[in-house]
Amino acid sequence: MPIISPGWTGHRRPGSEKLPPAQYLVTDFPVLSAGPTPRVDTRRWQFTIRTETGQAHTWDWTAFMALPSENITVDLHCVTKWSKFGTGWRGVSVDTLLAGIETAAEFALARSYGGYTTNLPLHDLLDGQAWIAFRYGGADLTPEHGGPARLLVPHLYLWKSAKWVTGIDLKTKDEPGFWEQLGYHNYGDPWREQRYWGD
């Protein structure tokens, strides 16, 4: 008689079926940043999408807030191994921002106030996969969590969701961002544990 019954896989923590490999669940929202926290006044905030030809499409805060927005509930996964389930946001889909913009680009580089950058394949920002979020938990997004607005790309590790975002450059060639140049994985899929170069 087998010691372990067929099909038995052991006891799992509640919610662990949704946890990527090596992640652990948190109920708070840890704050991790590469440098000082910018304090960006919405009166001078701008968001610019720049195409590979140099054409710029810019929104100030008033124009950005006039765009259609939606509520989003997503799980977050940080490269430092914490995950948070069911986070509630409100934001403008990147699809909305890119509507009507002609581009042959295959890559994107998100830019932030303070000089932070991160790179992504453009297709990871499309089809309802990414937003510029301005509210979290029913309140305006605080500077500590990237306010007044941050990129939100929940299917990748959280460093790809650039805080204090000020624009997205569309690129025909991939250009590694801040952490990617320092050894973090170029893509960052939490389900494949793509934390660092070589993963």
pLDDT digits (tens, 9 = 90+) for 10-35: 333 445 568 999 999 999 998 876 66
Q: Do residues 166 and 113 make contact, with C-beta atoms less than 8 angstroms apart? A: yes
Tokens of residue 43, six digits: 């009166």
Which spans in 37-196 are helix H? 61-65, 94-98, 178-181
Q: From residue 82, give the alpha-carbon distance in Å to each of 24, 155, 179.
A: 5, 14, 18
Q: Do residues 157 and 195 make contact, with C-beta atoms less than 8 angstroms apart? A: yes
Angle at 154 between CA 88 and CA 105, to 5 degrees: 130
Which pTM does this prediction carry? 0.89
Tell me how far apart the 2 most distant CA atoms of the chain are, in Å. 72
pLDDT tens track for 106-160: 999 999 999 999 999 999 999 999 999 999 999 999 999 999 999 999 999 999 9
